[in-house]
């Protein structure tokens, strides 16, 4: 699925409800919550904070997808084409950081 398709699917989902898109700061709070859940799972797996014995394991992919969903919602609400924005930021990184690290010999 492309980013444009993902944004369209999210828009279809949101558009079926009378409440529609939440205000930007509400979505930002949701994004921070989802990033926190992702951080918690990564910290349980790789950090120094083990899970409690009664805490079930979380699906890392779903935690990442939750973050992406809210980011897509925020982009839609703000009329941002994330595909185009990602192309621009990849070019920015290529120009800024292309010679910063040792390339792999391929």
Residue 41, token pair as written in the block: 């799972």
pLDDT bracket for residue 89 (50, 70, 90): very high
Structural Rg of the chain based on CA atoms: 18
Question: Are 73 and 27 within 8 A, CB to CB?
Answer: yes
End-to-end CA distance of the chain: 28
What is the number of domains present in the chain? Answer: 1
Backbone angles phi, psi at 18, to 5 degrees: -60, -35
Domain that holds residue 58: 3-97
9 in a domain, yes or no?
A: yes
The pLDDT value recorded for residue 38 is 97
Of residues 78 and 52, the one with the higher pLDDT is 78
**For residues 82 and 3, is the Cβ–Cβ distance under 8 A?**
yes
pLDDT in tens, 9-57: 999 999 999 999 999 999 999 999 999 999 999 999 999 888 888 988 8
Mean pLDDT score of the chain: 95
Residue 102 is assigned to a structural domain of this protein? no
The answer as to whether 103 is a domain residue is no
73 found inside a domain: yes
- Residues 42 and 36: their CA atoms lie apart, in Å, by 10
- The pTM of the full predicted model, rounded to 2 decimals, is 0.90
Q: Is the pLDDT of residue 106 over 80?
A: no
């Amino acid at each position: 699925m492309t980013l444009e398709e993902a944004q369209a699917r999210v828009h279809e989902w949101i558009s079926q409800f009378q409440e529609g898109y939440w205000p930007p700061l509400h979505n930002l709070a949701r994004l921070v919550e989802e990033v926190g859940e992702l951080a918690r799972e990564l910290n349980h797996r790789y950090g120094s904070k083990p899970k409690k014995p009664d805490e079930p394991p979380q699906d890392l992919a779903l935690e990442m997808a939750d973050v992406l969903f809210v980011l897509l919602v925020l982009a839609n609400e703000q009329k941002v084409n994330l595909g185009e924005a990602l192309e621009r930021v990849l070019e920015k990184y290529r120009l800024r950081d292309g010679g910063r690290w040792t390339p792999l010999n391929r």
